[in-house]
Chain A
Amino acid sequence: MKFGVVVFPGSNCDHDCYYAASHAAGAEACFLWHKDRDLKGSDVIILPGGFSYGDYLRSGAMARFSPIMEEVIAFANRGGPVIGICNGFQILTESGLLPGALMRNKHLKFLCRDVFLRAEQDAGRTPFTRNVEKGRVLRMPIAHNDGCYFAEPHLLDRLEGEGQVIFRYVNAAGEITEIGNPNGSLHAIAGITNEKRNVVGLMPHPDRCAEELLGNHDGALLFQGVVP
């Protein structure tokens, strides 16, 4: 089992994802350079967080044109598991692998803090959520400027109808509240999947909470889930 972590110019959670994949999931991991076209036999692709291309113009807008992304898109279309975390989620929406868009946080500030997420689908709905049963509340850190999920109403209806909303922002008790939603995302959406359910994007960072030493290992569930 091998994780491929894509390195875009400006990625800064590439090492964190590599570390989480190898330590929390005990899997092999490798870096995939954005100018290359070789997925090096990876079984799972991670698009890590950071500021690809400085987040200039729009977060994730330029990264999607990297040569490696053509391969990632083909891999995803073949049904390969892909997860985009934070900036990686933004890249997934910009590249059309996931629907919608991520816009400026409602308070217009970069926000770094813990949030609570509620799993919205049955365990195993996606390869990454095999260990997360529906209704379970996870704690995870966020750190982003542009995490406000937006989609047109008809698209939102479809996402909800098809069970593509994976995680929602909630409070500690698992309820959807204004304060629990840190960035103003529509329907408090924190993470979604595609129709085929092999591609997952989420704004919070499972890579930053995959170890007891850091006070939280809820994030390890996602890395471990994808390893059979």
Chain B
Amino acid sequence: MTNATREPEVTAAVAREMGVTEDEFRRICEFIGRTPNYTELGMFAVMWSEHCSYKSSRIHLKTFPTTGARVLKGPGENAGIVSIGDGLAVVFKMESHNHPSFIEPYQGAATGVGGIMRDIFTMGARPIANLNSLSFGAPDHPKTRYLLGGVVAGIGGYGNCMGVPTVGGELRFNPAYNGNILVNAMTVGLVPEEKIFLGQASGVGNPVMYVGSRTGRDGIHGATMASGEFDQQTEEKRPTVQVGDPFTEKLLLEACLEAMKGDHIVGIQDMGAAGLTCSTVEMADRGETGILLDLDRVPLREEGMVPYEMMLSESQERMLLVAQKGHEEALRQIFEKWDLQCAVVGEVTAGDRVVVTHQGQVVVDLPVNPLTSGAPLYDRPRAEPANLRELHDLDLASLDAGGSPADTLVKLLGSPNLCSRRWVWTQYDHHVQTNTVRGPGGDAAVVRIKGTRKALAVTSDVNPRLVALDPEEGAAQAVAEAARNVACVGAAPLAITDCLNFGNPEKPEIMWQFERAVAGIGRACRALGVPVISGNVSLYDETEAKGILPTPTVGLVGLIDDVAHVGRAGFQDEGDHVLLLGEATGSLAGSEWLHVLHGKLGGRIPKVDLEREKALGELLRQGFRDGTLKSAHDVSEGGLAVALAECCLLGSGSGASIKLDPIDRVDSLLFGEAPGRVIVTAAAGAKKLEKAAAKLGIPFRKLGKVGGDSLDWKGLFRLSVATLRDVHEGGLRAITGA
């Protein structure tokens, strides 16, 4: 084979520079029966990177339950798909853009949002909702304000321009993320079942077409960067950050959806991580075909680009599609109408090889399989972290209350992790498309589906402190919390996606956390009957050997059959009964109380009863359906007192009077945390609810009544709703400066 452009000679050392180990390099040579050239090696490097190949995580991910009556596509495609009836299906996935966002917060976050939306509309779905789960370092860390401001502006900048409402998400601060922030973006799309498109090549002789933006030298080796641990050299890798162009992506969205109306397209896949390489190889792989690619026809933004750069460029806002032969002109007209590039760049071939030519010469000739399923599969060693026992043994009983209940509530309600996120979500357009029935701020957001009575509830959840203390249990609780959150607006969980953010998998402690967390998600999903339909893994979230808290973010979509029965979180009318479903007392282990008041992480966390969670969900949905329930709000971080305060703030403005005496320590009653708890309100229906709860084995307790202008817990504290509001709304000010 000849090579037109002079490329560096390939050696094991060159391979190592690209992140390919000596062992992997040997395997590559064996697979193809020769030493790859530089471009080919680059393709292997990205395809075999952790980011694209899941080489450390794959064996564990296989244990997820991924099927169900509604599942149309599980993991393995660009995103998962579940049917919601009426001939409609929901497409969703979550993805990380952690490292790029740390280097350039605005563009990193923006292109993360752009990338996940392409994953959704490449399947034929119109994106209808975005969520984002964000983790930053300590509030007072010198970079936090800059990173937070940039990331939030970037997410808004991209999503707002696309006209996709950003309706929910999470925001947390913890020093563990000082050197590695997490930006996990999720998109939910809607597609008619008979209009689903897959990233698959088929039909020998069909043209391969390139549409969207031109290719530049953006983010070359971005995928391998996202898989490598941060070090001092990160600075030098800087040019790998891409700039997003949401305007072009908006055109691409409309053009693709228009093109998909006809019968022009056989298969389509976005060019994300590893660009042209990944899209070509994956489409050939799924379709069990070969692909011939002519680089001379690829629309370029810069002169003098070599095959290596073209194959690895991560320029945004591009798609690769296989067209029905003879439909090239029809497609060209559609993409030109939207002022986008459109070029035939190759064709589907018989056999199993990806062949790439440049200036008339073959520059790549590789079998598809080794690039995909040939990627190494590691069962990395695992070991329980040595300090876990010590964390569990933290003596919670010896810790003092640190102030009056009122003082502590004020402290917690205004603390960085519990205060209002209004500053964030007012920067996101959360109304566009006019479907947002419940916007950000509550337990789950709700978007209705025009033309039906249905609505979707969406949420993302994880409490990394719980995962750190008990990865299996903590991850299971993330699923349980997500399911509970959608139940609080009256929805039944359909399926989840996940984004598993962990440290360096080559460390046995990290791999142990990972494996345990995957097991926990799987257990909870099985118990709740909620399959995993898509997801993403981000490993090596580590800087100079300091890892993040294990953060398996769970994104969940639920279905509401009749939008008339959507629940709300806040207190409604004076005189309504305030009721607690679930145990009264929580635990201080791993709690926000422990974090805020004592700066500690430790203790043994209480276990979730998944059967009871399931029953609780049924109870809530039934209560909203039959009108018994007037509101429901999940009791999570901050415990009962914080949840009650939130009920006051999210509702009509009414306070409440509460009477419930502590059994042991006051802090556990007020600020203790535990799964399976929801504050609900009801008027005349309270009796009926009590009976239903008893039947399901769910603890039921009368806490008090809605009314007045303060939250008054008899004998413990009394704070005006106005004070609570000030404290809650002002919490982020110290971090954002606004």
Contact = CB atoms under 8 A, between A and B. Distances in A.
Contacts, number: 85
A20 interface: yes
Nearest to A11: B163
B430 interface: yes
B434 A208 contact: yes
B426 A113 contact: yes
A79 interface: no
Interface residues of B, number: 32
Nearest to A12: B163
Kindly name the residue among A49, A50, A53, A112 whose own CB sees the greatest number of chain B CB atoms within 10 A: A112
A85 B153 CA distance: 23
A168 interface: no
A218 B428 CA distance: 22
Interface in A198-228: 205, 207-208, 210-211, 213-215
Given A9-B247, A213-B448, A214-B436, A112 B161 contact: no
Contacts of B161: 10, 12, 51, 54-55
A216 to B, nearest CB: 10
B82 interface: no
Interface in A135-158: 141, 143
A110 interface: yes
A12 B253 CA distance: 11
Contacts of A16: 432-434
Given A51-B247, A56-B247, A143-B160, A109 B436 contact: no
A15 B451 CA distance: 14
Contacts of A12: 161-163, 250, 432
Interface in A97-130: 107, 109-113
A155 B337 CA distance: 40
Nearest to B428: A112
A77 B162 CA distance: 32
B397 interface: no
Contacts of B245: 54
B379 interface: no
B325 interface: no
B247 A112 contact: no
Contacts of A143: 160, 429, 431-432
A75 interface: no
B173 interface: no
Contacts of A111: 426-427
Given A9-B251, A51-B246, A207 B427 contact: no
Contacts of A19: 434, 450
Interface residues of A, number: 32
A54 B247 CA distance: 5
Nearest to B251: A9
Interface in B139-186: 153, 156-157, 160-163
B338 interface: yes
B446 to A, nearest CB: 10
A112 B429 contact: yes
A89 to B, nearest CB: 16
A208 B431 contact: yes
A208 B450 CA distance: 14
A141 B427 contact: no
A35 B251 CA distance: 14
Given A9-B247, A213-B563, A110 B160 contact: yes
Nearest to B563: A213
Interface string A7-47: 00110110110011000000000000001000000000000
A213 B157 CA distance: 28
A55 B245 CA distance: 11
A112 B436 contact: no
A15 B247 CA distance: 17
Nearest to B156: A110
A213 B428 contact: no
A113 B422 CA distance: 10
A31 B448 CA distance: 23
A20 B431 contact: no
A12 B432 CA distance: 8
A29 to B, nearest CB: 14
B339 interface: yes
A208 B431 CA distance: 7
A213 B452 CA distance: 13
Contact of A141 (B153, B246, B338, B431): B431
A29 B338 CA distance: 22
Contacts of B426: 109, 111-113
A12 B163 CA distance: 5
Kindly name the residue among A13, A110, A210 whose own CB sees the greatest number of chain B CB atoms within 10 A: A110
B406 interface: no
A16 B160 CA distance: 14
A211 B428 CA distance: 21
A107 B738 contact: yes
B338 A112 contact: no
23 contacts: A9-B247, A9-B250, A9-B339, A10-B251, A13-B432, A16-B432, A16-B433, A16-B434, A49-B432, A51-B161, A54-B245, A54-B246, A54-B247, A54-B248, A55-B161, A56-B247, A109-B153, A110-B160, A112-B160, A112-B428, A208-B434, A211-B434, A213-B563
By Cβ-Cβ distance, the 6 closest A-B pairs, closest first, are A12-B163, A54-B247, A51-B161, A143-B429, A208-B431, A16-B434
Given A107-B738, A112-B427, 19 more contacts: A9-B250, A12-B161, A12-B163, A13-B432, A16-B432, A16-B434, A50-B163, A51-B246, A54-B247, A54-B248, A55-B247, A110-B160, A111-B427, A112-B426, A112-B428, A113-B426, A143-B431, A208-B434, A214-B436
